[in-house]
Structure 1
Amino acid sequence: MQQHWFTGPLASFDTETTGVDVETDRIVSAALVVQPAPGAAPMATSWLADPGVPIPDGARAVHGIDDARVRAFGRPAPAVVAEVAAALAEQARAGRPVVVMNAPYDLTLLDRELRRHRGTSLAEVTGPAALLVLDPRVLDKHVDRYRRGRRTLTDLCGHYGVELTGAHDAAADATAALEVVRTIGARYPGALGGLTAAELHLRQAVWHAAQARGLQAWFDRSGADERVDLSWPMRPARCGCGRRLSPDHECEVAA
């Protein structure tokens, strides 16, 4: 019997941070959860980082981690981001899909932390074995496009009947996102079950771009100044002039 991607081994990644700007904010905690099969006990690895900057009140109110805690128990950010990236690279080498809720946020922020602290990128750490990403937000919007309402992780857990205990704890959120993705796959096998994880990764980039264009059109019609990035699963790095950076971290001068 053919095994679908949603019945096989999956990993899941999540972060808690100092804010929502992927270019300037920092990782405070991170978790990687691995589950070999549906119903199996998930195995979680967690990190607590001292981000090197004060944690704003708004971020602390969300995840409950304050400056005193990271100073007492957190490890230096350069060491933490290197270990997190190495753990993701291990998933890539194993060919194990990684669930990342709103991937362009967490993966981009990790990439910028690597550039800031280690002088390297996430792509350089993972090497030729690229990550296979499953984003519950993109998948849900694709299979149930016209459903009204918000689509945060809490909302998706409620819609798909997944228990979320300890929201805004990185390990709890990663575990819940993993279960949401398994449930989406099982509920929509006709739309998603026939694809491999690699095929699904490529399709999600296209689906996300279409979803982002639709959101941008809505912002434009409403007169809002919001700009929606079409990139998935990670936003390209840019230099100060606005151009993309090459894999060698050099500005790609326009032809």
Structure 2
Amino acid sequence: MPILEGCRALFEYTAQVQPWHSACADISRAAWSPDALVGFDLETTSPDPRTARIVSFSVVEVHRNGSRVPLVEGLVDPGVTIPDSASAVHGISTAHARQFGMNHELAVERIHAAISAAWARGLALAIYNAPYDLTVMKHCRLGGFSVRGAVVDPLVLSRMFCRRGSHTLAAVAESYGVELAAAHDSSSDAVAAAELGLLFTDLASGLSGWSTTGDIMKVQRALAVAQQIRRARLGDQLGWPQLGDVAA
């Protein structure tokens, strides 16, 4: 699949960029050849990750052979009223979440534990629009949430591979023949993110500057922040894989 000349230049540029996270120096030197990715998705109360509360979540390990291992998932009582606009997206009402959902703080800690364990095993997270979900975690968890392992963001990579048109998860999944059983269902979205992540890392595997986890983090960060800068409004936070880690 063709790659924009600008993307090629960016690969060369990112070789000069500082390591993506000083806390991950050992991880960033590891060779990049994933047999599995851990898909992660949140459904929430708001499009603003600084104020959103979690309504449902899924962390699922997806292997190249097609096997899927749910690590943790659940429905959550966000402790606030779910706006009608949010319910219209994911189909979860305030009444349903209050009756059947788990405690919000408990859910956040379960997510944190599952992600931390995956990173400790050397697995990368696959998150569609990673700055949203990881920034939600940073603001929802007491003590914050630090990125301590590799992240693959199929939204960033779909733009790198010059796909035209809509870049919603549903549109990109359809373009690449990846099943999305139910858009805005956290489990379906997490699985689709992981499958797209595996597909895109295969497409990128022959590129120079894409041989270690450090490489893929630097390239995605540079691409994502460049895109954010083009669209930024006054006061917007910048950064990848979390918002706020790049000065505006």
What's the TM-score bracket when you normalise by the shorter of the two chains? 0.7 to 0.9
1:232 aligns with 2:231: no
Structure 1 residue aligned with 2:20: none
Q: Give the root-mean-square deviation of aligned CA atoms.
A: 2.3
2:201 and 2:164 map into 1 onto residues whose CA distance is 20
Tell me what 1:53 maps to: 80
Name the counterpart of 2:223: 207
The one of the two structures with greater contact order (alpha-carbon pairs below 8 A, sep at least 6) is 2
The alignment's TM-score, normalised by the length of structure 1, stands at 0.78
Instruction: Note the C-alpha offset of 1:230.
Output: 3.0
SS of corresponding position for 2:58: strand
- Counterpart mapping for 1:166-205 below 5 A: 166-191=182-207, 194-205=210-221
Q: Which structure 2 residues correspond to residues 111-122 of structure 1 after superposition, within 5 A? A: 111-114=138-141, 119-122=142-145
Name the structure 2 match of 1:149: 165
Distance in 1 between residues matched to 2:93 and 2:59, nearest whole Å:
21
Q: Which residue of structure 1 lines up, in the alignment, with residue 65 of structure 2? A: 39
* In 1: Cα distance, 2:55 partner to 2:234 partner: 27
Q: d(CA) in 2 for partners of 1:72 and 1:172?
A: 23
Matches of residues 91-106 of structure 1 in structure 2 within 5 Å? 91-106=118-133
- CA gap of 1:194–1:131, structure 2 versus 1, over 3 A, is closer
Residue of structure 1 equivalent to 2:33: 5
Question: Which one-letter code corresponds to 1:65 in the other structure?
Answer: I
Report the AA paired with residue 180 of structure 1: L
CA separation in 2, counterparts of 1:204 and 1:30? 24
Which of 141, 145, 152 is 1:134 aligned to? Answer: 152
Partners of 1:188 and 1:28 in 2: CA distance: 34
- C-alpha distance in 1, partners of 2:172/2:204? 15
Letter in 2 for 1:196: T
Larger gyration radius, structure 1 or structure 2: 1
Question: 1:24 and 1:4, CA in 2 relative to 1: closer, same or farther beyond 3 A?
Answer: closer
Q: What is the CA-CA distance between 1:107 and the residue it aligns to?
A: 0.5
| Matched residues, number | 216
Give the AA of the match of 1:88: I
The one-letter code matched in structure 1 to 2:150 is L
Distance 1:166 1:97 in 2: 23
Aligned partner letter, 1:201: M
What is residue 108 of structure 1 aligned with on the other side? Answer: 135
Residue matched to 1:164: 180
CA shift for structure 1 position 83: 0.9
Checking the alignment, whether the CA contact within 8 Å between 1:160 and 1:184 is kept in structure 2 is: no
Q: Which runs of 5+ in 1 are unaligned?
A: 217-224, 238-242, 245-255
- Helix, strand or coil for the counterpart of 2:120? helix
Q: Measure how far apart 1:153 and its partner are.
A: 0.4
Q: CA deviation at 1:73?
A: 1.2
Secondary structure at the counterpart of residue 76 of structure 2: strand
Answer with 177-186 or 14-23: which moved more: 177-186
1:206/1:92 CA distance change after superposition, 3 Å: same
Q: Cα distance, 1:150 vs. partner?
A: 1.3
Pick closer, same or farther for the CA change 1:23–1:4 going to 2, 3 Å.
Answer: closer
| Secondary structure class of the residue paired with 1:5 | coil
Q: Deviations over 1:114-157 (max 9, x none)?
A: 0xxxx31112xx7xxx121000011121222xx43110101110
> Which range moves more in the overlay, 207-216 or 23-32?
207-216
Query: What is the CA–CA distance in structure 2 between the aligned matches of 1:192 and 1:57, rounded to whole Å?
Result: 47
Percent identity over paired residues? 34
Q: 1:206-240 CA deviation, whole Å, 9 max, x = no partner?
A: 12122223334xxxxxxxx5765430000138xxx
